[in-house]
Structure 1
Amino acid sequence: MSLQTNAMAEAIELARHARLDTAPNPRVGCVLLDERGGVIGRGATQAVGGPHAEVMALRDAQAKGLSVIGATAFVTLEPCSHHGRTGPCCDALAAAGVRKVVASLADPNPLVSGQGFERLRAAGIDVEIGPGAEEARELNLGFFSRMIRKTPWVRLKVAASLDGKTALPDGTSQWITSEAARADGHAWRARAGAVLTGVGTVLEDDPRLDVRLAETPRQPPLVVVDSQLQTPPAARIFEPARPVWIYAAAPDAAAQAALEARGATVRYLPNPHSKVDLAAVLRDLAAREVNELHVEAGHKLNGSLLREGLVDELLLYLAPKLMGDGLGIANQPHAAGALTRLDQALALEFKSFEGLGPDLRIVARIAGRDRF
């Protein structure tokens, strides 16, 4: 493996380790090599408002007393070129005397989108684009989705038996899968920009829907789809310290006041059928800088999201059990209603399989959803 390949692989690994910290910014890693190919600095993007990966790598080299003049920076995304919460990284690299920048991808943010590369070249810095592109983009699918599609990347989490049942006929669902699978599910919650559920789940299960079984630097906001504002102010979703965003269809001043007294933010986004406009919710969440949306809901809301084409991938935990009668993953998930041909089924692509204790975790992506 070449020095260049090694350096970019390390930069991607730095970005991967930062995946819980950077939101809403992209997950970015940077490695600096001196002219002999030795590593002189490493860095990853910090929590929002903190330094980006390039600045962290420059500071790392400085702390070691190493010069970066003539160095090559391997970075997993185009260095930013605008003044946002921090200054432009392309200017920091140029001021430090870096000779070359190797970047995996152009930044999809329209405030950058090639301008960082242009400013680097204008400063006399060589620019190479492409190494590690697939891995770097996969790490930041949510950020790319928000910038390009103006909606978050939507991941629907389901725990089910081997025959696809998520609950008994009476709604009992705790616990179909093992502790190992539940802990893994909490880790996926932790990486999300927000967690979404429906009021039915709140009323039936009274869950907290926070991150408890995995390490996290923050609790992601909770989103509740609640057309008639039925969420009880005493619900356990208000116990964790985090934002709670409730989307409703029909105004109810008294219910809204009671929920806002618990710290919730209520927004009305009705569709023509007096239900919450789910597509509008996704656009609003993107405006709130949510990159990845983690859905844990019941079969009705799951079905609505799938039927409207709003789900990008499924995070499916399968327990080695057969339950027979019970509730399924989604109620009426197809826009055409009941299927009459097998080729009408919603096609998915398996992305990964992993055993977790006695259970199996499958990540399956809606075919073609990542091509934007």
Structure 2
Amino acid sequence: MSGLERPIPDAQATTDDRRFMAAAIRYAQRHVGRTATNPSVATLIVRNDGAGPRIVGRGVTAVGGRPHAETVALAEAGELARGATAYVTLEPCAHHGRTPPCAEALVVAGIARVVSAAGDPDPRVDGRGHAILRAGGLAVTPRVMAAEAAAPISGYLTRHRDNRPEILLKMAVSTDGKIGIRGGGQVKITGQVADAQTHLERARHDMILVGAGTAQEDDPRLDCRLPGMADRSPNRIVLDPRLRTRPEQTLARTAADTPTLIATLSSADPASRAELARQGVQFIACEADPATGRIALPELLEDLAATGISSVLVEGGAETGASFLDGDLVDRLILVQGPVEIGETGVSAPIDVATARQRFRLVREYRFGEDHWFEFERRTA
């Protein structure tokens, strides 16, 4: 019988396996938010010629999504890949496109063993990548540090698993549970360090979302303003069922530079639509929720996923935040509690830290000067 007929059984992960996989996961962070519809994956090629293991090739999914990490790492390793171990943060792809699948590339390069982390729920892969490797005679050790590897690509995984983007709701909250003053424009709640962290979150997401009320009252830019990272600004989307957005607003005036989408109903004023379109604004037609008259969020998110959007950062106001929370659409939640007290004229946050602790799982907590940063995730069964 040939090697193709005798798949090598999975081996147990070693301490070195976990060490190199941890390094690969850190390396994958490099292009998070920059790989279009593909996830940011990393690959390390490691060989041991008797003097201890050493990295001879490394790769991360290229900006724009191609080439994949395995291709980049194999090219760097060259002939040193033969007989080596590949550490891949996501199951190697198995489908043919303009180039052969990465699983086949690993076999052809003579890799002896593949250690992978997260499984790929894409139905074109989902176990098929590992099957190609085993059929090619490679030893396969799957799901090493799978949870840690899934974190940087959670949006991609959510899009394929749930047919919608991953939703992160982020709000700055005063000490008395307010997020702003109705009709009063922006209220400064957090300091410079927490604000910089917010801009970093923007850079990691495909799209940032606000409601029409926030767009009108705050006239935000919704970009990434960290030094050297202006090109990491996400696409922008405004929930505006009645098309209240005006051409003089910042989001409309800058639409030619930063892709800006307005989610609106088909009944929206065609003249306003045409005027905004001339400035570069794009539109997505939405259905109305029959109970509220607002945009039906599940259908909108399904449409966004169909275009390859994997992650959406919601920075909308109280009404928008409540809509996502009420629809059980929030996968991750960030609440930043600043030292400011707004008072009775303030707009109440749709969720506070105490309620979030009951509904979500607290995963991280930081202090940035006087600001208290809480990160929550959806509870799993």
Tell me the TM-score normalised to structure 1 length: 0.90
Q: 2:147 aligned with 1:131, yes or no?
A: no
- 1:24–1:193 Cα contact (<8 Å) kept: no
Q: 2:277 aligned with 1:277, yes or no?
A: no
Q: Which residue of 2 aligns with 1:229?
A: 243
Root-mean-square deviation (Å): 2.2
- 1:160–1:318 Cα contact (<8 Å) kept: yes
Q: 2:288 aligned with 1:268, yes or no?
A: no
When residues 141 and 212 of structure 1 are mapped into structure 2, their CA distance, relative to the original with a 3 A threshold, is same
When residues 172 and 85 of structure 1 are mapped into structure 2, their CA distance, relative to the original with a 3 A threshold, is farther
Residue identity matched to 2:242: Q
Shift of 1:343: 9.8
Give the stretch that moved more between structures: 348-357 or 232-241: 232-241
CA–CA separation in structure 1 for the residues paired with 2:141 and 2:370: 46
CA–CA separation in structure 2 for the residues paired with 1:357 and 1:344: 22
Q: Which residue of 2 aligns with 1:27?
A: 40
Q: 2:94 aligned with 1:97, yes or no?
A: no
Q: Secondary structure at the match of 1:111?
A: coil
Shift of 1:217: 4.0
- 2:47–2:81 Cα contact (<8 Å) kept: yes
Q: Which residue of 1 aligns with 2:8?
A: none
CA–CA separation in structure 2 for the residues paired with 1:177 and 1:158: 10
Residue identity matched to 1:32: I
Q: 2:313 aligned with 1:294, yes or no?
A: yes
Q: 1:347 aligns with which of 347, 359, 367?
A: 359
Q: Secondary structure at the match of 2:303?
A: helix
After the TM superposition, which residues 235-246 of structure 1 pair with which residues of structure 2 at under 5 Å, given as runs? 235-238=249-252, 239=254, 241-246=257-262
Q: Which residue of 2 aligns with 1:361?
A: 373
Shift of 1:114: 1.1
Q: Which residue of 1 aligns with 2:22?
A: 9
Q: 2:269 aligned with 1:252, yes or no?
A: yes
CA–CA separation in structure 1 for the residues paired with 2:231 and 2:141: 34
Show structure 2 runs of 5+ residues with no match: 1-13
- 1:35–1:70 Cα contact (<8 Å) kept: no
- 2:33–2:206 Cα contact (<8 Å) kept: no
Residue identity matched to 1:224: V
Give the stretch that moved more between structures: 248-257 or 88-97: 248-257
Q: Which residue of 2 aligns with 1:337?
A: none
Q: 2:96 aligned with 1:80, yes or no?
A: no
Shift of 1:314: 1.3
Q: 2:59 aligns with which of 8, 21, 43?
A: 43
What percent of counterpart residues are identical? Answer: 36
Q: Secondary structure at the match of 1:188?
A: helix
Q: Which residue of 1 aligns with 2:348?
A: 328
When residues 344 and 233 of structure 1 are mapped into structure 2, their CA distance, relative to the original with a 3 A threshold, is closer
- 1:49–1:85 Cα contact (<8 Å) kept: no
CA–CA separation in structure 1 for the residues paired with 2:21 and 2:307: 31
When residues 294 and 322 of structure 1 are mapped into structure 2, their CA distance, relative to the original with a 3 A threshold, is same
Give the stretch that moved more between structures: 216-225 or 93-102: 216-225
CA–CA separation in structure 1 for the residues paired with 2:152 and 2:33: 11
Q: Which residue of 2 aligns with 1:315?
A: 334
Shift of 1:302: 1.1
CA–CA separation in structure 2 for the residues paired with 1:213 and 1:122: 47
The number of residues matched between the two structures is: 357
CA–CA separation in structure 2 for the residues paired with 1:253 and 1:169: 29
Q: Secondary structure at the match of 1:259?
A: helix
Q: 2:238 aligned with 1:218, yes or no?
A: no
When residues 183 and 345 of structure 1 are mapped into structure 2, their CA distance, relative to the original with a 3 A threshold, is closer
Give the stretch that moved more between structures: 219-228 or 249-258: 249-258
Residue deviations 1:254-303 (CA, integer Å, cap 9, x gap): 11111211112212212224321111111111111111110111111111
Q: Secondary structure at the match of 2:167?
A: strand
- 1:164–1:328 Cα contact (<8 Å) kept: yes
- 1:20–1:217 Cα contact (<8 Å) kept: no
When residues 277 and 28 of structure 1 are mapped into structure 2, their CA distance, relative to the original with a 3 A threshold, is same
Q: Which residue of 2 aligns with 1:173?
A: 186
- 2:185–2:217 Cα contact (<8 Å) kept: no
CA–CA separation in structure 2 for the residues paired with 1:98 and 1:216: 39
Shift of 1:49: 4.1
Tell me the TM-score normalised to structure 2 length: 0.88
Q: 2:195 aligns with which of 182, 186, 195?
A: 182
- 1:251–1:268 Cα contact (<8 Å) kept: no
CA–CA separation in structure 2 for the residues paired with 1:216 and 1:20: 13
Residue deviations 1:294-323 (CA, integer Å, cap 9, x gap): 011111111111112121221111112333
Q: 2:164 aligned with 1:151, yes or no?
A: yes
Show structure 1 runs of 5+ residues with no match: 334-341
Q: Secondary structure at the match of 1:255?
A: helix
Shift of 1:34: 1.1
Shift of 1:357: 2.8
